[in-house]
A = this chain, B = another copy of it.
Amino acid sequence: MFRLDELVAHLGGELVGDPAVAVRRVATLDQAGEGDLAFLANRKYAARLADCRASAVIVAPEARELTALPRIVTADPYVYFARVAQLFNPPAAVPAGVHATAAVEADLPASASVGAGASVEAGARIGEDVVIGPGCHIGRGVTIGAGSRLHANVTVYHGCVIGARCILHAGAVIGADGFGFARDRDGSWIKIPQVGRVVIGDDVEVGANTTIDRGALDDTVIGNGVKLDNQIQIAHNVRIGEKTAVAGCVGIAGSTVIGARCMIGGQAGIIGHLSIADDVVVSAGTLVTKSIHRAGVYTANLPVQPHPEWVKNFAHLRHLDSLVDRIRALEQGLDKADPTESD
């Protein structure tokens, strides 16, 4: 339960209306009721302010006079909402200490927590307030920065580095071997030892069952503030710039370098050895097969169709080249009155 004046004291913004109004939850304009703090993040929902039953709302300066409710005026109501939500919903406290069923061979600060059945190998350097969830495995010589939290069943291979205040969700695997083999004459694959590490910056979130492979010779590097959704595969020696966000099921192949503040849509793929500039947006389902040198939105996906129409239309994709030949022939037919024109 926070009073509006307490919120503004914590988080800034201008308070309009009764400072003693108290709120205890955030909610959407539609669903908010007594005790809720709603927010108007998108101008097109402004009409909903009229019927809003929230105790107070967060609005942008231009919406300041659109409601008589007690309100906090701030440049970015959605960011403000996120910060209030964090205040209302702090991460569940986890008691410090090592569970009786955990196996810890490293020195830990007293503030760290290791869950049931987890293991931490020798030489791991674990920061203050780190939470290692049940069933996690932390390999030899791993570094985990202060305040980071690993949920259950996360695996971090030997030597990898995780920054401060990171969140790793259940089933994530950091530092498995990259997919590196030399092909012998008979087609056999000779394994190339993967001796690089994974180095993850501060404030990174890694989704459930996401995998980040260790580098072959050099490291795989994830910049500060990067957010990775679930089921993402990041291959060896990839480098991802600060604050880039990657949605679920994306695959990024080996040695590709991605800039800062990029947004990669769900199920997109980026092949190996490419370079993607800063501030690039890749649409969902798009396979990137060439480097991208300029900021912007890039897309390659298909319009979904009812199956019979798809059959009718897409059969022609196998014959596009001959279609183009037919168009060219038609153009020459029309032009044949003009003998100066050539192909």
Question: A: which residues have CB within 8 A of B?
Answer: 26-28, 31, 75-76, 78-79, 81-83, 85-86, 88-89, 91-92, 99-103, 115-119, 133-135, 137, 140, 151-153, 155, 157-158, 167, 169-171, 173, 176-177, 179, 181-193, 195, 205, 207-209, 211, 213, 217, 225, 227, 229-231, 233, 235, 242-243, 245, 247-249, 251, 253, 260-261, 266-267, 269, 271, 282-290, 292, 296-307, 309-321, 323-324, 326-327, 330-331, 333-334
Q: Is the CB of A249 within 8 A of B266?
A: no
In the complex with contacts A251-B231, A266-B253, A316-B320, A169-B176 CB distance below 8 A? yes
Q: Is the CB of B283 within 8 A of A307?
A: yes
Cα distance, A314 to B231, chains bound together (Å): 29
The one of B31, B100, B289, B318 in contact with A284, judged by C-beta atoms closer than 8 angstroms, is: B289
In the complex with contacts A251-B231, A284-B289, A184-B76 CB distance below 8 A? yes
Cα distance, A115 to B330, chains bound together (Å): 72
Cα distance, A130 to B90, chains bound together (Å): 32
CB neighbours (8 Å) of A189 from chain B are: 225, 227, 243, 245
Q: Is the CB of B269 within 8 A of A285?
A: yes
The one of B134, B195, B313, B330 in contact with A319, judged by C-beta atoms closer than 8 angstroms, is: B313
Cα distance, A19 to B137, chains bound together (Å): 44
Q: Is the CB of A304 within 8 A of B327?
A: no
Shortest Cβ gap from A135 to chain B (Å): 5
Cα distance, A133 to B233, chains bound together (Å): 22
Smallest CB gap from A245: residue in B: B189
- Counted per complex, copies of this chain come to 3
Cα distance, A292 to B306, chains bound together (Å): 10
Shortest Cβ gap from A296 to chain B (Å): 6
In the complex with contacts A211-B230, A253-B248, A82-B153 CB distance below 8 A? no
Q: Is the CB of B182 within 8 A of A78?
A: yes
Cα distance, A221 to B302, chains bound together (Å): 29
The one of B86, B208, B242 in contact with A173, judged by C-beta atoms closer than 8 angstroms, is: B208
Q: Is the CB of B266 within 8 A of A266?
A: no
Cα distance, A266 to B267, chains bound together (Å): 12
Pairs A–B under 8 Å by Cβ, sample size 17: A26-B217, A79-B190, A116-B117, A116-B137, A119-B152, A135-B137, A137-B152, A153-B153, A155-B171, A173-B209, A173-B230, A187-B261, A230-B235, A284-B289, A300-B303, A316-B323, A330-B334
With a 10 A CB-CB cut-off, give which of A103, A230, A320 has the most chain B CB atoms: A230
Smallest CB gap from A139: residue in B: B152
With a 10 A CB-CB cut-off, give which of A153, A208, A298, A323 has the most chain B CB atoms: A208
Smallest CB gap from A308: residue in B: B297
Q: Is the CB of B157 within 8 A of A151?
A: yes
Shortest Cβ gap from A184 to chain B (Å): 5
Shortest Cβ gap from A225 to chain B (Å): 6
